[in-house]
Amino acid sequence: DSAGNALGGKGNFSFIVQRGAQLITTAPKLGASDVEPATVEMWFSSPMDVDATNEAFSLTDSSSGALVGGRLNWNEERTQLIFSPDQAFAGGRAFDVVLAAGARDADGNPVETSWTFTSKASLGGGARSTTSTRTAPMLGAPAPSDSLVGYALNQINAARAAYGFAPLWLDAGMTAAATAHAWDQVSYGYYSHTSRNGASLYGRLAAAGVAFSMASENQCHYYGMSVTDTLNWCHGAFMSEPYPGLWNHIANVLNPRWNRVGVGIGDNGSHVVITWDFAP
C-alpha cells in the first residue's frame, strides 16, 4: 500500500469473457410440428439491438414463398422478441423464421439464426376441401360495456349470435381463476396454459371451487398495446381461424356445449395477458 506494507491475500484472479447474445429458446419450439401459435417468440441470453434485429427478421410461409406480415414487439429488457401476425397462421403450412445478417446484440455481436415450424392442419388432417369449413358470417360489433371483462364477454356473444349459438354467461368463480392465472403470467414473465406450480386448467378451476364436467381455455397476449386493442386483436385472430375447427380457438368461442365463460386480464402497463376459460 502507500505506506509500504505488503499486501496480503492472493495476487492473482481470473474472469470469463462472455460470448455475444445467444438464442436460448423459441415458441413454437425449433422444428415443432402440428402447432397452433398465436405469435412467434424468441428469447435471447442478453439484450439485443432492437432496430437492427427487427430489420433482419423475416417470417416466410415456405409453402408459398410469401412473407408473413405482422408486428414486432420486445419486452422491456430487450431479450424477448414477439412477432404477431396480421392474420392467424394458415393451417398445414411450414414457416421459416430467419434473423439474417445485420441482427446483433446490444454490444454489436452478430446474432444470426434460422428455424422452422409447421402449423396444425385444419379439420380433416390438412385436407383443403371446401366442405371442411363454412363461410364465416359477418360479425356484429360487440355491445358496449363499462368494464373490459364485460367487453370481452360481449365480443364472444356477438360472434356466437352471428353463428346462431346461444350466449354465454360470465361465471364469477371461473373469472377469478382466469384472472389469477393471467396476472401470474404477467407478474412472473411466462406464458403457458400450465401454472408455475404445475396446475392445469382443471386444477385451477378445482382450486377455485368451480364445479365442471369439462372445460377448455383460450389464451392470447401482446406487448405494447392497450387492453382494448389487445382484446380486439386476439378476438380477430381467433375468429379468422378455420371453422369448424378441431380444438382451435374459434372452436372454443363457438362451441355449442359451452354455456359459461370466465375472463381474466393481466396488464402490467407493457404486457397484456388474457385468459378465457369455457365450460358447460
Q: Do residue 154 and residue 218 come from a single domain? A: yes
pTM: 0.54
Q: Which three cell numbers stand for residue 211?
A: 364445479
Choose one of 61, 86, 118: the last residue of a domain.
Answer: 118
Regions of the chain short of the pLDDT cut 70? 9-19, 63, 122-144, 244-247
What's the pLDDT at 30?
A: 85
Q: How far apart are CA 231 and CA 179, in angstroms?
A: 15
Contact 192, 200 (CB under 8 A): no
Q: How far apart are CA 68 and CA 83, in angstroms?
A: 10
Contact 170, 260 (CB under 8 A): yes
Q: Which three cell numbers stand for residue 275?
A: 385468459
Q: Vertex 266, ends 263 and 269: CA angle to 5°?
A: 145
Contact 247, 131 (CB under 8 A): no
Q: For the segment 102-120, what is each residue's pLDDT rounded down to a tens digit? A: 999 998 899 988 888 988 8
Asked whether residue 12 is domain-assigned, the answer is no
What range does the domain containing 191 cover? Answer: 130-279
Domain count, the chain: 2
Asked whether residue 71 is domain-assigned, the answer is yes
Q: Do residue 104 and residue 173 come from a single domain? A: no
Asked whether residue 101 is domain-assigned, the answer is yes
Contact 210, 174 (CB under 8 A): yes
The contacts of residue 63 (CB under 8 Å, 6+ apart) are: 93, 94
CATH of the domain at 184: 3.40.33.10
